[in-house]
Structure 1
């Protein structure tokens, strides 16, 4: 962890670019935009209009310019490249920082004249033609980036293997959640959880990568427990209908809640948290669970092992038996749950904060565009109004 006040603040201009997002990437970009603008930087966020509606980057102090980048490659990507070029021509910046592969490909094809920083948030799991196209995009992005940042060590290794000249680890801090607004009993009452029942919680987008089918199949076995736990999943996404059908067919004690803004409340009511993904970097819900002292069962994939250390029970991906056994061991052992809860809070205290993340980016932007801050200092004399440096008018 760094001291966010120990180094001079970066006061240059940066464009933060993202594609369609309803979760972690959008939250991260908003956090970064808020921190950078508070430090004196000039931030423009570029992305689909829907991301501005959901994350309200302007309320975080940034300006917003629409650049429509869908979640999957389409012929409209050419329009996105042209739109980004227009934004950068009209509003020159010192650094372009793209978040995620889709945004990074658009940035690479736009060929900005300033340094391009790319944060790799996700691994490519797709197969077939989509997988081949995504891996080609990875190679283009890796070789175009001035610096490639990976949210987990395996992403750093991937970027380096694909030809990135400078690949570094840059953990993504989970934005701080507001405190719970309801008491534990009130949250549990909403879902009909009795005093002697356990509430098992998972939060995330309903997408095949999250493997909620594994959680549903494991939960179906818990119907025979006395009393059976109540399992709730907060999130929306394309896997909703298949999951609802699976829950019905297996009679699993699982409720799909849809999108929720009260994750802090849900954690206050939960006894256990579960992550069953095929891959994650530094999953936000896993961070939130450990911070809240909720015992966690998670898959040993991507960056999760380095994130949680010994503060969670780790299981293989796609293994229903392992999830069943791990959750069962916690349901049966109050002492083990208390131990994991305590270890979780200790582990969470070692993670970088949002302020640490912003300070690290300021240092990186200073490194890749050292003239921006120095030039701004030279052209802003005491008492004047801050004349923009050449090229920024």
Structure 2
């Protein structure tokens, strides 16, 4: 993403002008734009004219429109933006912004509904309806960071099935799914099984050549149950040797074989937390997310009083300054209710202000999708707290405050009554 212009005041007012360049940029834009925001971009409108003779004609005009957003629609794409040789392809994700026109011109009336197609390599300006908060500004900073892009390739496989994936800071893209029917081994003859597996390995190898930019990635992970990963790894480098594929052979040190419980994409979370993978990806955002989610699950199993999840419970823990690590999905920041969004922004800022860690998970990664199954928010506490006891204390505190308020109101009412009696006595006198 390119930052074309930025004018944001300390109070959060102002705008930024951005130019998305790839699929991940489009995902960032989708997360930045909320209902009520003002988006200005180039649009194409069909204009009809009627001549004096009654004949009509139509033509297209390009106009800059500013919309007050009512709806956003993001359509991710499975195809990638990079070839095995590192050449960029056209992005394929799409983002549509619908809303009312707030700046009138000769072609579009004020208040008319319109839909903008935000496209890669086209500038747009964004003004936040309720101001730029810290989470939105942080996402802009991440999006425009130099050198961002796919960091790791992954092949999650089993006998006859494989998913070829690319992982970047905020997205897991499934480049291709491969399925080959593999018959079971039979006593006295394995030719059918072996031939099918040979076809399977060949299909995966060809996909690697087409879809995995192994020269630029930090690591390529092969994950599987059983020994499929070992056989596939051997096949890939046997073929690379036979064909003298020097770039692929040179990347051999980046390839990591790890165990996974299933041959499905959701096992990527398990694969990413393998020590040998974590070591190569130190500092990568999605690696930190995977480690954080793993720590939460372990804490939930071993010391549940230090593992809380759910908006209300986590909010209580944040209020008490007990959160060491906050895990929160970017889904929650897309709330159309500004009060709800601000609540989550305040939680992120409160944890960081006390020296804790706030991890904002991308729902386009497997780890983010797993967190969404836990309501989208969880916390690892620095000390144990019993949820039921905390809730009881909260109820007692609310009852105490209600009693005090009632006593104050009663005293005020009694005082007004005494004053009225005094005025009445003075009048009689």
Which one has a larger percent strand, Structure 1 or Structure 2? 2
TM-score of the aligned structures, taking structure 2 as reference length: 0.27
Which one has a larger percent helix, Structure 1 or Structure 2? 1
Structure with the greater alpha carbon radius of gyration: 2
Q: Which has the higher contact order (CA 8 A, sep 6+)?
A: 1
